Structure formats: C-alpha cells, structure tokens
Chains A and B, each alone.
Chain A
Amino acid sequence: MGSRIRTDRGKPQSEAPVLDVRHYSMAYDTEAGTTTALDDVSLMIWRGETHALVGESGSGKSTLAWAITRYMAENARDTGGAILLSGEDMIGKGRAELEALRGRRIAMVYQDPSSSLNPTMRLGEQLTEVLIRHRGMTKTEAWVEGEAALARTGIVKPAEMMMRYPHECSGGEKQRVVIATAFACNPELIIFDEPTTALDILTANQILDLFIRLREETGVAALYITHDLGLVARIASKVSVIHKGKIVEQGDLETVFGAPEHPYTRKLLAALPRPEDRLALPAPTEDTPLFEARDVGVQYNAPGWLTRLLDKSAAAHWGARNITLDVRPGELLGIVGESGSGKSTIAKAATGLNPFEGEIRFVGRSFASRDAFDRKYRRDVQIIFQHPDSSLNPRETIGGILSRPLKLYKLCPAGEVRQRVRELLEMVLLPADYASRYPHQLSGGEKQRVAIARAFAAEPRLVICDEITAALDVSVQAAVARLLVDLQKRSGAACIFITHDLNLIRQLAHRIVVFQRGALVDAFDVADAGSPERHPYTQALLNAVPVPHRPEDQPDLMEPQA
C-alpha cells in the first residue's frame, strides 16, 4: 500500500508541519470484539495549506477528526502511531492541557451550524467566550474584538448580529459566526467537518469564498473533511482519500484527481455526475401531456377561527403557489430548488399526501382535491422518498413490502406473488433471497433499490422521486440513477425527479423546472441550460456548482462500473 502514497511534497521541508499524523491506528471495543476504525493513517499539513480528507460515509473521516482533537468515545482505543501538533504529542496530553488547547490552537467547524450554537445564548456571548477564556481579554475588549471578527467574515452589521440569538439568523449567518469563532484565537489548525453540507448551494458557495479569503489572511492550516469531490477542487491543495479507515491515496490535488492510481479513487471520480455524460433516454416525441398541474397551491398551518378572531393578521403559509407544470409520457422532468422552495410540497400534493388547491390532470381525467384521487390514480402515480432508512417499514420483510402493491392493486394472482417479488428484486439487481430479510439488514443503497422496486411493482405511468439520491454516497448515487433510467426505459413510465444536485439532473432530465420560495421561476429544456435567457436565479444556481472534469489521461474511466 505504501507505494500508493505519494510523498513528493511541494513545501520546504525545513519547516515542521502543523499537524503530523504518523501511522496512527484506532479501534473501538464493542461487544462483538475490537473493530478497527483507523488503520495506519499518516498525513501532514503545513502552515497555510488546506488538506482535504475525502471519503464516503463510514470511511472513518470524522473519526480521524475526533482523534486529532482527542474527543474520543469511551470504548475507543489508540492502537499505535502518533499525532503531533506542531511537534507536540497530542496522545499523551492530560484533560486540562487539552481543554486549554482546544479552541486556542485547534478549532473545529461542524456540519450543522444550528446544532453547534447554543440556542439560549446570544451569538456575541458565544463568540467572546473563547476570547475571554483563551486570550485573557476582559468582557469589553472581547466584545470589540468579536465585532471585528464578525466584520471580517463579511457580516454587514456585526454589532447587531452580536446581540441576536441563533434562531434569529439564517443558516449561512450562523455558519459565519461559527467560522469567526474558530478563527478568533488565531489557531494553528482548523478542522472543517463538512461545513457546507447542511447549507443551500448559494450560501455554501459564499461560505467557501469566505473560507478561502480567511485562510489567505491568516495562513492557518486546515483539514477539510468532505464527501463532495466537486468541492475539493475549489479549496484544497492536497487530498487524502480514505476508505474503510485506511488512506488509499494521498498527494497533490492535480495528481490525485488528474491521474488517480487507486481503484477506489477512480471509482469515486467516475461516479461524479457530469452533465455532458447524458444518461437520459431519447426525449419523448408525443406532445400530449400525461400529467398536468394547473395553478396548484398548497397551504400550511391555516389558522383556526379562534386564532383568526384574536389575531387578524394570522394567515396560512403557502408551501407552494400557482404551480403549473406538465410531464409527457416517458419524459423525465427535473425539479430543482433550495430547501424550502416547495419541491417536496408539490410531490406530496400530487400523491395525495398534502391537500391542494387548483387542478391536477392525469390522462384526461381531472382532480380538484386530493379526496378525488381514486385507487387507479394512486396506482398510476407512485412516489419514492429521500431517506432509505425510513421509507421501509422495519417490521416487515422485504418480500412483504414488495408484495403489498401487488396485492393491493390485484396485479397478479395470489399464487404468483412470490415469483413476482423475485422478479422485482432481480429487476433492481438485488439477490432474490433478500425477500426474507428485514430492512435493517440492508445497506442504504440496497434499501433505496427496494423502495424503487416497490414503486415500479405497481406498474405506474408516473414515478415521483423526491431527492432519492440525496442521502446516498456518490458511488451508490450514480448506480441508483442508472437503475432508475433503466427501469424507465423498460416500463415506459414518466418520471418527476426532485433534487438539488444540478449536475445530476442535467445528466438525467429532459426538461428542468426551477422552484424558488414556493414559486416556479423557470422552465427549460436541458440543452438550453447555458442559455443567457435563463432566470437570474437559475444562472446563480448553475454557476454555484463546479462542473467536474473528466481526468484526461484516463479515458477508460467512464466505462460503466461493474
């Protein structure tokens, strides 16, 4: 394995690295025995350098971050190697030493700003806490310094922001405060653990810009943990790819991404969605729409008569309003937009999970409310949800789950149900003996395949996919997307694909509609995505996402993976 690790480092070797992890291993003691979480991990970060740690869920990337800051679970055990911070051994440090060091010399920025800030404290108090504790400032000095720190993160009215509570700010503002806190004591090392994953695309982009600027101003060393390979190219100069607790490939960004050596890195890069690699079927020729939504609106939290009597201003919140869209037979329509833009609201309205206003038309039939949806409509329009973990009933076997639509819609005689379930499992490339398993025995990707099989079991004419790839790892995501297109080809069903991944939807869709704050702002053919006539919001979304490039010297990369 050693040969895979490139050691040619561009930095002058005279300076000691800020972070030096040497052949570090860690294990968890569990009831089933010892599980190795990190295996012989080595990595070095110098001043001013950003090192990206890339891996899929469960690869051990966050475990490494916790090990560096020495926040370890009780059953965690160091099994070898060393972790040095500017030459000082971290493993041997006592509790008091570590407490003095965290926040001052190592800072961390986590994924979700709303859970890393204390909701009962003003943002200013949380920011000045570190200054008072680690830099020995008085309260007034710290407050002044805090405002300056916030101003550096691009917050327009820092004094006002200091007085606010976390719930009074947007996610992006909160993450700026967290970043300001991390930079407040000029730490040597900052660990970023997926800092933009919980944010919308546009906000995430601003946070990245902020990070790049602050890094240049302060010269801090950063370990940037992420699963998003597209993002790595923007921020990091060095990359480590981690897989099952082992670093499988390490080196300069250009080398690793341009000429990946390890099969796992190649697989990850190949799985990245690239708009130019179209997966979609040929666009349908038929023009009569299969499904139409006309002026559909969904209201949430309509106030009761008593509330209206007491508070005249009380009004319902529109989850989505005046939505008009159509889907042709065999077409794949993409819906994109930020969280809270009403994408899922419309999906739920179309499947009778939300009451709606307006009109939904399906093959010539018209429905004015969700009560009008009959069994035939419900069979023809199927929905697949985002979270594979919660979309299957944990107490039913896979066979039981898949046989339900067959029995409900009386699609095959009772004696043939088992045979049909086997076929369905094979259709989604799962072994037929999975029928007797329970959902918790399957991986996330496998569960999502079962959910897809359940939807297609009803032999629908329209399948609504609500962010079905969002909770999956990159490589699994690509396989699921391919599977969906394949099933569409075999069954001829149309599809509404809701996502926030613009590169993926440009691979899959024939047409795309863009939602913003509950309204449909743009609709276009995929080929016209780059056209200047696009709505400014569409353009902003498209510009915010870097389009990954194919590694040039690896033309075989795009062959379908087995």
Chain B
Amino acid sequence: MRKILKSPTGIIGVILLTIVLFATVFGPWIAPYDPQAFDARARLQGPSMAHWLGTDQYGRDLLSRILSGAPSTVAFGLGATILGVGVGSVIGVIAGVAGGRTDSIIMRILDGMLAMPELLFTLLIVTFLGGGTTQAMLAVAVTFTPGMARIARSAVLSVRTREYVLAAQARGESRAWIVGREVLPNALGPIIVEATIRVSFAIMIGATLGFLGLGAQPPSTEWGLMVAEARQFMFRNPWCVAVPGLAIAITALGFNLFGDALRDAFDPKRGH
C-alpha cells in the first residue's frame, strides 16, 4: 500500500476511489433532496445554491440522484467483476494446471467467445436473459470470463515451470497442495491487478447497457440510465448529461489508476 501511495498515479487513484466509495456508502443518507421528488418549477436548471449540480427534466435534484445512484452503479461494477474474475480465474487455473488436451479444449472454446466484440456479446446475452440490473450484471460477468481465464492461465503457466514447483513435484506433493500453496499465491498478482482495471470496464459497459435501455429501468438512479434519459434534453441543460457522465468517468478513472499503481507495486522490476 505504501508503494501505491508513492506514485502520483496511485495517489490520484486512491483519492478518486475514496470519493466514490464515500458516495457509495453514505450517498443515500447525505443526499439533500428525495432523488425521485418532482419539482415542476425547477426543471432543467443549471447549478445554483439550491441545486448544486442543477436539476433534470422533471426538476429532480441531480446531486441527490447521483448520490443515491452510486451504490447500485458501483455494486454493479464490483459484482460483475467479482463474478467474472472468479469464474474466469477458476477456469484459467484448471486449464493451466491440467495442461495437455483439457487445456486445449477449454482454451479453444474461450477463444471462440473472445472473438466476439465485448459489447455485442453482452447484448446477445442480455437478449437471452431479458433486461434488468441482475441480468445485465450476469451478462457482463460472462463477457469477462474468457479474458480473465486467459490471464489466469498465463499466470499459472509462468509459475508452473519454476523450480520450486518442480521441487514440490519431485518431493511427491499432492496436486492440490502444489496448486494451492506453490502456484496460486504466486500467480495471484496479475489476476488481482487485472480485476481492478476490469471494474471500470464493467461500470462503463453497465452504463452503456443502461443507456440502451437493457440494464436498469426507470426511475432507477443508475448513472448510465440517467445519461440515457436526459439525452433528449441535452441542449436545454447540458448538466443533466454531463453530471452522471462525469461521475462514471471519475469512478472508471479511479479504478483504472488504482489498478495501474497496483500493477507497478506488484512488479518487482519497477520497485526499488
């Protein structure tokens, strides 16, 4: 952690993430207005003392909506990532450890899945599963699985031929012990780092799905949906698009920079 705070990227990432996580945890309580309360007299206003970030087409306070939407948006990103990374890593580790034919079969199937563009693939799954936040989250997780499996497998492969693993094999250790104690702890670094970077992708894909009307449904305060709903009023009040857009960007940037710093901290060649 100290290593992360030494690089400028790391510091900015941590600051952004702290803001986002604070909003996620306390957002709904500190919101000054009810996020669903209409106010016909204050529609599409810019920032003012009463409404710090302005209002949307129904006169709802944007700051309150952003704050109350933070938990669902961030939870979406984290949930999709944890699911996708978890399943993907397990598949990748199995392929990497088993090797040979099992490895070839698993990886060829995953390559097939990887060949499809990420967003199209997500859309395809959502059309199967139907719209809604949970379904969208599952779809993103499934999309993440093949990529994560590849990363986990290559991490395992690079560790598997190290001499300490050979020494364990020569000692006659059980396979489970070799994987659990010798291989996995040393392969975990790249997987964790990739996961933090993927959180921002998940939030962005989630926002895109919300924008297309396939994720969260109105009157949810999910940020992507907010952008989608407000886009026809964009020219009358740019704030109602810019504010949720910026919130998404800050979160994505925060996770991204944090992931970069984490990768540098894990890489012994970059450390001093």
Contact = CB atoms under 8 A, between A and B. Distances in A.
Co-assembled chains A and B: yes
Interface of A: 30-32, 348, 351-353, 373-375, 378-379, 382-383, 385-387, 390-396, 404-405, 408, 451, 454, 458
Nearest to B167: A391
B164 A352 contact: no
A354 to B, nearest CB: 10
B172 A385 contact: no
A347 B10 CA distance: 46
Contacts of B186: 393-395
A352 B169 contact: yes
A391 B161 CA distance: 11
Contacts of A458: 171
A392 B172 contact: no
Contact of A393 (B6, B171, B182): B182
5 contacts: A32-B272, A352-B170, A353-B166, A387-B163, A395-B185
Interface of B: 6, 162-164, 166-167, 169-173, 181-182, 185-186, 272
B169 A385 contact: no
B234 to A, nearest CB: 47
A211 to B, nearest CB: 33
A168 to B, nearest CB: 27
A153 to B, nearest CB: 36
Contacts of B172: 352, 373-375, 378-379, 408
Given A30-B272, A31-B272, A32-B272, A393 B164 contact: yes
A169 B164 CA distance: 33
B172 to A, nearest CB: 4
Contact of A408 (B173, B185, B272): B173
A392 B164 contact: yes
A386 B167 CA distance: 11
Contacts of B182: 393
B162 A353 contact: no
A31 B270 CA distance: 12
Nearest to B183: A393
Nearest to A392: B164
A391 B164 contact: yes
B171 A390 contact: no
A32 B167 CA distance: 35
B170 A390 contact: no
Nearest to A454: B167
Contacts of A375: 172
A382 B168 CA distance: 10
A186 to B, nearest CB: 39
Given A352-B170, A383-B166, A387-B163, 11 more contacts: A379-B172, A382-B170, A385-B163, A390-B162, A393-B182, A394-B186, A395-B186, A396-B181, A408-B171, A408-B173, A451-B167
Nearest to A391: B163
Closest 9 CB pairs of A and B: A378-B172, A391-B163, A385-B163, A351-B170, A393-B164, A395-B185, A31-B272, A390-B163, A390-B162
Contacts of B171: 378-379, 382, 404-405, 408, 458
A127 B167 CA distance: 44
Contacts of A391: 163-164, 167
Given A391-B163, A393-B182, A353 B272 contact: no
Given A378-B172, A393-B182, A383 B272 contact: no
Contacts of A348: 166
Contacts of A353: 166, 169-170
B249 to A, nearest CB: 32
Contacts of B164: 390-393
A385 B166 contact: yes
Contacts of B166: 348, 353, 383, 385
A372 B168 CA distance: 17
A238 B162 CA distance: 41
Contacts of A393: 164, 181-182, 185-186
Nearest to B272: A31
Contact of A383 (B6, B167, B173): B167
B116 to A, nearest CB: 27
B271 to A, nearest CB: 9
A378 B167 contact: no
B5 to A, nearest CB: 13
A417 to B, nearest CB: 16
A451 B168 CA distance: 12
A396 B186 CA distance: 10
B173 to A, nearest CB: 7
B156 to A, nearest CB: 14
Contacts of A394: 186
Nearest to A385: B163
B107 to A, nearest CB: 16
A31 to B, nearest CB: 4
Contacts of B6: 31
Nearest to A466: B163
A391 B186 CA distance: 13
A495 to B, nearest CB: 15
Contacts of B173: 408
Contacts of A373: 172
Contacts of B181: 393, 396
Contacts of A387: 163
A408 B272 CA distance: 37
A395 B173 CA distance: 17
Nearest to A458: B171
A387 B162 CA distance: 10
B188 to A, nearest CB: 9
Nearest to B170: A351
A458 B162 CA distance: 21
A352 B164 CA distance: 15
A379 B186 CA distance: 25
Contacts of A451: 167
B162 A383 contact: no
B162 to A, nearest CB: 5
Nearest to B177: A408
A437 B163 CA distance: 20
Contacts of B170: 351-353, 378, 382-383
Nearest to A405: B171
A31 B167 CA distance: 36
Nearest to B101: A304
A375 B171 CA distance: 8
A488 B166 CA distance: 23
Contacts of B167: 383, 385, 391, 451, 454
A382 B166 CA distance: 11
